[in-house]
Amino acid sequence: MMHLNIQLFAVPFRKVSKTRGRKRRTHYKISENATVKCPKCGAEVRPHRVCAACGFYKGKEVIKKDSAE
């Protein structure tokens, strides 16, 4: 006899195999045009990343990009 009152519940991540978890995440993709303009220099930057052109993030210089050193 088929019972269709299946109970779904949370599965601990250690109980899910690497393959199974990865197969589920095949739809999790970053969109190709995930860029924002850097407020400092206007370059196209990935959101929530330090600007590669000027090295600024959140108004602070994180990476020294000064050529005159």
Cα–Cα dist 22/28, whole Å? 10
Q: Which is nearer to Zn ion, 21 or 35 (CB)?
A: 35
Q: Which is nearer to Zn ion, 5 or 66 (CB)?
A: 66
Q: Which is nearer to Zn ion, 11 or 41 (CB)?
A: 41
Closest CB 46 distance from Zn ion, rounded Å: 12
Contacts of 40 (CB under 8 A, 6+ apart): 51, 54, 56, 59
| C-beta of residue 28 within 8 angstroms of C-beta of residue 21 | no
Closest CB 21 distance from Zn ion, rounded Å: 36
